[in-house]
Structure 1
Amino acid sequence: MTVNDDSFTHWKNREEIAESMIPIIGKLHRERDVTVLVHSRSLVNKSVVSILKTHRFARQIAGEELSVTETLPFLKALAALDLGPSQIDLGMLAATYKADDRGLSVEAFTAEAVAGATGANKIERGEGRDVVLYGFGRIGRLVARLLIEKSGSGNGLRLRAIVVRSGGEQDIVKRASLLRRDSIHGQFQGTITVDEASSTIFANGNAIKVIYANDPSEVDYTAYGIKNAILIDNTGKWRDREGLSKHLRPGVDKVVLTAPGKGDVPNIVHGVNHDTIKPDEQILSCASCTTNAIVPPLKAMDDEYGVQRGHVETVHSFTNDQNLLDNYHKSERRGRSAPLNMVITETGAASAVAKALPDLKARITGSSIRVPVPDVSIAILNLQLKREATREEVHDYLREVSLTSPLRRQIDFITAPDAVSSDFIGSRHASIVDAGALKVEGDNAILYLWYDNEFGYSCQVIRVVQHVSGVEYPTYPAPAV
């Protein structure tokens, strides 16, 4: 047998193993509300090739490829347990098992590692929580995709309605079409049909009522059978407590804003300060995409090295707030053509850091340049540290943070030497550390942080909503603190 034949045989064997994993992963998700991950990347509803690619990605960050032959025994062990709702990371299980020297079997080790999700310790499956989207723009449609994707078990978040202003003839058909196809993020994964008579979009079996209203005061959500709902305002029209309180109508219990909140509205960055949300808090903000991108790595660096001061420069993709061609705009420079220019503009991300990290004493400044790409941005975080470090030390620290820390869902890490912005379209992390661009000299560190300002941010929004709704399930093995 030639080397080529041997390589192909090896690939086919791994394909067969990955194929055998799919029904186990699907059954755990549908019947027990268990999400199977590999290094924070979900394997639910993934193809054979996607499962293999997810395993292979570990090589970039952990130094060696993770094989499905290593993770399959752990998956089979999980299937045999009395599991409750949880998230279980096969990559972490395999890594911690390899480091364990007690000689336990895979079955015994797995049972011990996920004990908090089994038997008397497991969380009981709830009835789910209603969600309403107020607005259906770029973030609204991506949040809708994520909600539909995560509704497989029927016991989590349930997208019940979308509230928009009527756009005229065939409004619902056009909105469904925008949900079905996206020029940046591709096709919707599933089926979408429309019932114009009942003003309902059916997406993968989810019946989503489209409610037409010009103002929050016009809607009584209980009339649509909606109760105790979390409303996600993705219009950005109201930013303070007084304005957002208009959404607290019959059937709505909490309001989550997908833009920086003003005044006393809490700005939440999941992974950093989501545990400060008070149970009775009805109004909160998920801050901005850039705030979500810089705060987790800023916290990680401050925890380990201390930060004296810093500056963040964001090179940001253009947005719908800018003009396609030169035209009047209330903000300076944003009236100039977005696809033809680099546009210097302001960012509130630096000032928002204080709300998410009140214990950080460092002064953080910021500025932004909009550039002619439709998605994915980069934040250049220039930090003066409280102690000197080496590039190798910071490199290894951030890699470990991305793998094993409580921030591993927020911070990703890439070593690819030819990575460019389009490579990060669809990233579910708040930001991705570009290892090749990292610069450290003495007490100065410069981090280059890629982020999908649309999809990555939408994932952060969903995490906050899951947390306040009570369906954010614990992850096993527990990340290192």
Structure 2
Amino acid sequence: MTVNDDSFTNWKNREEIAESMIPMIGKLHREQDVTILLHSRSLVNKSVVSILKTHRFARQIAGAELSVTETMPFLRALTALDLGPSQIDIGMLAATHRADDRGLTVAEFTAEAVAGATGANKIDRREPRDVVLYGFGRIGRLVARLLIEKAGSGNGLRLRAVVVRGGGERDLVKRASLLRRDSVHGQFQGTITVDEENSTILANGNAVRVIYADDPTQVDYTAYGIKDAILIDNTGKWRDREGLSTHLRPGIDKVVLTAPGKGDVPNIVHGVNHDTIKPDERILSCASCTTNAIVPPLKAMADEYGVLRGHVETVHSFTNDQNLLDNYHKSERRGRSAPLNMVITETGAASAVSKALPDLRARITGSSVRVPVPDVSIAILNLQLARETTREDVLDHLREVSLTSPLKRQIDFISAPDAVSSDFIGSRHASIVDAGALKVEDDNAILYLWYDNEFGYSCQVVRVVQHVSGVEYPTYPAPEA
């Protein structure tokens, strides 16, 4: 048999194993609220090829390809356990078992590693928590996709309604069409039908009521059977506590803003300061996409090396706030054509750092250039460190952070030498460290951080909503502190 024959046979064998993984992963998710991860990437509702590619991607960060032949025994072991709601990383199980020298079987090691999610230790499955989207633009529709995708067993977040202004004839059909297909993010994964008579969009079995209103005070959500809901404001029209409080109508318990909050509104970056949210806080902000991109790696660098000062320059994709062609705009430069120009503009991300990292005394400045791409941006984070280090040491540190730390859902790591912006469309991380572009000299480090400013940010928003609603389930094996 030739090498080619051996390679093809090996591929077919791995395809067969990945195919047999799918019903196990699906059953755990539907029946027990268990999400199976591989190095913090969900394997729920993934195809055979996607599962194999996710395993192969481990080579980029861990240095060696992870095979389904290694992870399958751990998945089988999990199906034999009495598991409660949780997230379980079979990539981490395989890695930690490999490093363990006690001679435990896969079944014994797995049972020990996830003991906090089994038997008497497991947490109760939560009642569904209602969610309302106020606004249905770029972020609103992506958050809707994520909420529908994560509906799972129906015991997590449940998207009940979308509030929009009336748009005229066939408004509902047009909005459903925008949810169904997207020029940047592709087709919706599932089926969508429209019930115009009841002003409802049915997406993968989820009935989402479309409510037409020109102002928050016009809506009584209890009239639609909605109670104790979390409302996500995607409009950015109101950013202070007074304005956002107008959303606290009958049926709404909390308000989450998908833009930087002003005044005393807490700006939350999941993974960094989400644990500071007070139980009785009813209004909070998820900050900006750029703030979410820079704060986790900034924290990772500050914790290890100390940071004395820094500057962030974002090369940002254009947004709806800019004009397609030159026309009047209230902001400087943003009136010039977005698809035809690089546009210097301001960013509030640097000033927002102090809200998310109040213990960081370093002064961080920032600026931004909008460029003619529709999605994915890059933040160039230039830091003066408190001690000298080397490029190799920083790379090892950030690679380890992306794999095992509590920030592994926020920080990804890539060493591909030819990576470009479009490669990161659909990334669920807040930012991705580009290993090849990293520069370190003595006490100066320059990090190049890719981020999907639409989808990656939407994932961070959903994580915050999961946390405040009580359906953010623990992860096993527990990340290293």
Q: Aligning the two structures, in what range does the TM-score lie when normalised by the shorter sequence?
A: over 0.9
Correspondence for 1:267: 267
Q: Deviations over 1:414-447 (max 9, x none)?
A: 0000000000000000000000000000000000
Alignment identity in percent?
89
In the other structure, the counterpart of 2:195 is: 195
1:438-457 matches, cutoff 5 A: 438-457=438-457
Corresponding residue for residue 32 of structure 1: 32
**Structure 2 letter corresponding to 1:86:** S
- Name the aligned partner's letter for residue 471 of structure 1: V
Aligned position for 1:468: 468
Is 1:376 the counterpart of 2:346? The answer is no
- The residue correspondences of 1:237-248 to structure 2 (distance < 5 A) are 237-248=237-248
The offset of 1:211, in angstroms, is 0.1
5 Å matches for 1:333-348?
333-348=333-348
Structure 1 unaligned segments of length 5 or more: list them.
Answer: none
Tell me by how many angstroms 1:261 deviates.
0.1
Cα separation, 2, equivalents of 1:249 and 1:79: 43
Instruction: Provide the residue aligned with 2:432 in structure 1.
Output: 432
Q: Note the C-alpha offset of 1:126.
A: 1.6
Q: Say yes or no: does 1:84 pair with 2:96.
A: no
The answer to whether 1:59 aligns with 2:27 is no
How far residue 366 of structure 1 moved from its aligned partner, in angstroms, is 0.1
Whole-Å separation in 2 of the counterparts to 1:161 and 1:376: 28
Rounded Cα–Cα distance in structure 2 between residues aligned with 1:437 and 1:389: 17
In the aligned structure 2, how far is the partner of 1:188 from the partner of 1:451? 21
For residues 303-318 of structure 1, the aligned pairs below 5 Å read 303-318=303-318
Shift in Å at residue 50 of structure 1?
A: 0.2
| TM, length-normalised to structure 2 | 1.00
1:376 and 1:126 mapped to 2: Cα distance? Answer: 35
Corresponding position: 1:150 with 2:132: no
Identify the range of structure 1 (117-126 vs 350-359) with the bigger mean alpha-carbon deviation: 117-126
* CA displacement at 1:139 relative to structure 2: 0.1
Specify the SS of the correspondent of 1:331.
coil
Task: String of CA shifts for 1:80-126, please: whole Å, max 9, x gaps.
Answer: 00000000001100000000000000000000000000011101112
Hey, what's the Cα distance between the residues in 1 that align with 2:17 and 2:196?
Answer: 44
Specify the alignment match of 1:74 in structure 2.
74
CA distance in 2, matches of 1:422, 1:123: 40
CA distance in 1, matches of 2:235, 2:137: 8
1:48 CA displacement = 0.1
2: CA distance between counterparts of 1:170 and 1:123?
45
Partner Cα distance (1:56, 1:445) in 2: 29
Q: Distance in 1 between matches of 2:153 and 2:42?
A: 15
1:265-414 counterparts in 2 under 5 A? 265-414=265-414
TM-score, scaled relative to structure 1:
1.00
Q: Which has the higher mean CA deviation after the structures are superposed, 433-442 or 118-127?
A: 118-127
Question: Residue type of the partner of 1:275?
Answer: D
State how many pairs are aligned: 481
Question: How big is each residue's C-alpha offset from its partner over 1:211-242, in whole Å with a ceiling of 9 and x where there is no partner?
Answer: 00000000000000000000000000000000
Shift of 1:69: 0.2
Match of 2:459 in 1: 459
RMSD: 0.3
Q: Distance in 2 between matches of 1:326 and 1:203?
A: 38
- For 2:439 and 2:90, how far apart are their aligned partners in 1? 32
CA distance in 1, matches of 2:185, 2:299: 30
| Cα shift at 1:127 | 1.4
CA distance in 2, matches of 1:64, 1:300: 24
- CA–CA distance in 2 between the matches of 1:123 and 1:378? 39
**Whole-angstrom distance in 2 between the partners of 1:161 and 1:85:** 26
Structure 2 Cα separation of the partners of residues 55 and 10 of structure 1: 14
Q: How does 1:111-150 map to 2 (within 5 A)?
A: 111-150=111-150
Number of the residue aligned with 1:48: 48
Task: Give distance in 2, aligned partners of 1:205 and 1:303.
Answer: 45
For residues 118-159 of structure 1, the C-alpha deviation after alignment (integer angstroms, 9 at most, x for no partner) is 011101112110000000000000000000000021000000
1:282-317 C-alpha deviation (Å, 9 max, x unpaired): 000000000000000000000000000000000000
Deviation at 1:274, TM superposition (A): 0.0
2:109 corresponds in structure 1 to: 109
Q: Distance in 1 between matches of 2:22 and 2:380?
A: 39
Partner SS state of residue 448, structure 1: strand
Matching residue of 2:418: 418
Letter of the 1:37 partner, please give it: L
1:142-177 CA deviation, whole Å, 9 max, x = no partner?
Answer: 000000000021000000000000000000000000
SS in 1 for 2:116: helix
- SS of corresponding position for 1:316: strand
Instruction: For residue 44 of structure 1, give the secondary structure of its aligned residue in structure 2.
Output: coil
Indicate the residue corresponding to 1:235 in structure 2. 235
Give the aligned partner of residue 215 of structure 1: 215
CA distance in 1, matches of 2:324, 2:67: 47
Cα distance in 1 for partners of 2:119, 2:460 equals 30
